[in-house]
Amino acid sequence: MKFKKFILCLMASIICLSILLPVSTFADGLNLDINASSAILIDSDTGKILYEKSAYEKREPASTTKIMTALLTLEHTKLDDIATVSSDAITSVPSGYSSDLLKMGEELTIEDLLYALLLPSSNEAANVLAMHVAGSVDSFASMMNTKAVELGCKNTHFTNPNGVHDEDHYTTAYDLAIIAREAMKNDTFKKIVSTASYTLPSTNKYSRIDRTLISTNDLIKKQSDNYYEYAIGIKTGFTTPAKNCLVSSAVKDGKTLIAVVLGASTDNNRYTDAKTLLNYGFDNFSKKDIVKAGSVVSTVEVKNATSATKELNLIAETTINTIVTNDKLNDVINPEITLNEGLQAPIKKDDIVGTAKYIVDNIQYTINLKAGSEVKKSYILYIVIIIAIIALILMLFEKPKKKRRKSSRRKKASVRSNGYYKAR
């Protein structure tokens, strides 16, 4: 009896412990030690979120604003276009913000101004570019807000091109990641933000070649204690209200990640946070090809097709790849296939015959399916139908003939019986 009570108590204890103790899940891996007020890590290729901390919280972006400024500039100008540094471009930079790099009346190419914007984070270069593109800072800010909406930003509003403090100038870690992802698709932008130093050429207002621009991003500077060997950019930011901000990107093992940290307490913390995020992404996620273009997704039997061509391979028109946690790398993902309504022969090779839908981590991917071969129409059924019709017609004609023959025989029999025929 005592033994039974002991067993019951032991079982009850185990059940209680199983309820009270935390269950180990994938979410446990997200408890990273991040100092910044908000942060996010995404896969650059797919935009998939790998980690987030208050990622939709409204924050001041400081000079990370200049990512959007550069993106719009690259979309609306040529690199060899010439822009002039106006008095207003310099004097409109508030006191306390650096604005001593460029000279009033100086003429520089858009490319040189972009290096000035993104490496030493020149505030006046941002104004020059804004005025060159839109005619005024206000008009350019309107363009920035329109672009943010187009990209799918959820809580962003810009009032200037450089990130100086303004109550109405804000964004989120999520939105900045979207903007950075779009900007990194531009090869010129990617080249500039991965450059540690750049020397401005002489100009009409500055004859010497001694203005070497040094990136404010320690992740890409080999001599820095914060150097990260996989880093390829992107942009730092700091104001007293915004604190220390950093949008970074890195490439390793075929994976390109973007990390955003906003509101870090110190300069060093923003780099530590960025490395923590990037290392987490590289160590715990892998690229996975869901389906490759040209591969056979499935095989179906087509109606009204010849026996030799009725088996049709459905071919993936495009490649789908994503990023998954390492434990899901070998998982088989079966698609939901939808064929075109009323699909039947004839079908030409490479015709679009349907779609395949894959769902990975609640994200839906849909591709077109092509015909892997020609499907010829079978005419056997038509031949059988024609033969049957002919047979039916023959049968219908045959019955009256038989009736006429029978009728003729009856008449002859009737004549004989009535004595109409006499022997000669």
Q: How far apart are CA 202 and CA 260, in angstroms?
A: 35
Query: Per-residue pLDDT for 284 more than 80?
Result: yes
Average the pLDDT over 22-40 and give the result: 68
Q: How far apart are CA 347 and CA 115, in angstroms?
A: 55
* Of 38, 63, 248, 378, catalytic: 63
Asked if 63 is an active-site residue, the reply is yes
Query: Per-residue pLDDT for 283 more than 70?
Result: yes
Nearest alpha carbon to residue 298 among 256, 336, 346: 336
**In the prediction, which pLDDT does 402 show?**
59
Query: Per-residue pLDDT for 38 more than 80?
Result: yes
**In the prediction, which pLDDT does 410 show?**
61
Could you tell me the pLDDT band of residue 411, with boundaries at 50, 70 and 90?
low
* Of 37, 38, 44, 121, catalytic: 121
Average the pLDDT over 320-331 and give the result: 94
Longest dimension (CA), the chain: 148
**Mean pLDDT computed over every residue of the chain:** 89
Query: Per-residue pLDDT for 123 more than 70?
Result: yes
Asked if 224 is an active-site residue, the reply is no
Query: Per-residue pLDDT for 326 more than 60?
Result: yes
Query: Per-residue pLDDT for 189 more than 50?
Result: yes
pTM of the model: 0.81
Query: Per-residue pLDDT for 421 more than 90?
Result: no
Query: Per-residue pLDDT for 322 more than 90?
Result: yes
* Three-state secondary structure string covering the chain: CHHHHHHHHHHHHHHHHHHHCCCCCHHHHHCCCCCCCEEEEEECCCCCEEEEECCCCCECCHHHHHHHHHHHHHHHCCCCCEEECCHHHHHCCCCCCCCCCCCCCCEEEHHHHHHHHHCCCCHHHHHHHHHHHHCCHHHHHHHHHHHHHHHCCCCCECCCCCCCCCCCCEECHHHHHHHHHHHCCCHHHHHHHCCCEEECCCCCCCCCCCCEEECCCHHHCCCCCCCCCCEEEEEEEEECCCEEEEEEEEEECCEEEEEEEEEECCHHHHHHHHHHHHHHHHHHEEEEEEECCCCEEEEEECECECCCCCEEEEEECCCEEEEEEHHHCCCCCCCEEEECCCCECCECCCCEEEEEEEEECCEEEEEEEEECCCECECCHHHHHHHHHHHHHHHHHHHHHHHHHHHHHHHHHHHHHHCCCCCCC
Q: How far apart are CA 217 and CA 127, in angstroms?
A: 21
- Token pair, residue 104, equals 């009033």
**In the prediction, which pLDDT does 17 show?**
33
Between 193 and 98, the higher pLDDT residue: 193
Could you tell me the pLDDT band of residue 387, with boundaries at 50, 70 and 90?
confident
Could you tell me the pLDDT band of residue 198, with boundaries at 50, 70 and 90?
very high
Q: How far apart are CA 233 and CA 257, in angstroms?
A: 11
**In the prediction, which pLDDT does 406 show?**
60
Average the pLDDT over 398-407 and give the result: 62
Percent of the chain with pLDDT over 70: 86
**In the prediction, which pLDDT does 388 show?**
82
**In the prediction, which pLDDT does 403 show?**
60
**Is 28-285 a CATH 3.90.650.10 domain?**
no
Q: How far apart are CA 220 and CA 107, in angstroms?
A: 29
* Of 37, 53, 66, 194, catalytic: 66
Q: How far apart are CA 228 and CA 35, in angstroms?
A: 18
**In the prediction, which pLDDT does 20 show?**
33
**In the prediction, which pLDDT does 415 show?**
53
Average the pLDDT over 160-181 and give the result: 98
Each residue of 270-299: b (16+ CB within 10 Å) or e?
bbbbbbbbbbbbbebbbbbebbeeeeebee
Query: Per-residue pLDDT for 125 more than 60?
Result: yes
Contact residues for 13 (Cβ-Cβ < 8 A; gap 6+) = none
**In the prediction, which pLDDT does 416 show?**
58
pLDDT tens string 291-300: 999 999 999 9
End-to-end CA distance of the chain: 131
**In the prediction, which pLDDT does 407 show?**
61
Could you tell me the pLDDT band of residue 22, with boundaries at 50, 70 and 90?
very low
- The CATH number of the domain covering residues in 292-371: 2.60.410.10
- Token pair, residue 394, equals 């023959």
**In the prediction, which pLDDT does 120 show?**
97
Query: Per-residue pLDDT for 2 more than 90?
Result: no
Domain with CATH 2.60.410.10 in the chain: 292-371
Q: How far apart are CA 332 and CA 348, in angstroms?
A: 30
pLDDT tens string 88-117: 999 999 988 988 899 999 999 999 999 999
Average the pLDDT over 218-224 and give the result: 98
Q: How far apart are CA 178 and CA 111, in angstroms?
A: 23
Query: Per-residue pLDDT for 404 more than 90?
Result: no
Contact residues for 175 (Cβ-Cβ < 8 A; gap 6+) = 148, 153, 154, 155, 156
**In the prediction, which pLDDT does 139 show?**
98
Average the pLDDT over 148-155 and give the result: 97
Average the pLDDT over 150-178 and give the result: 98
Query: Per-residue pLDDT for 8 more than 70?
Result: no
* 8 A C-beta contact, residue 42 and residue 50: yes
**Residue with tokens 């979410």, as numbered in its chain:** 27
Could you tell me the pLDDT band of residue 405, with boundaries at 50, 70 and 90?
low
Asked if 202 is an active-site residue, the reply is no
Average the pLDDT over 123-135 and give the result: 98
Domain with CATH 3.40.710.10 in the chain: 28-285
Nearest alpha carbon to residue 130 among 206, 182, 200, 76: 76
**Residue with tokens 């103790």, as numbered in its chain:** 21
CA distances from 71 to 190, 193, 222, 295 (A): 11, 12, 26, 36
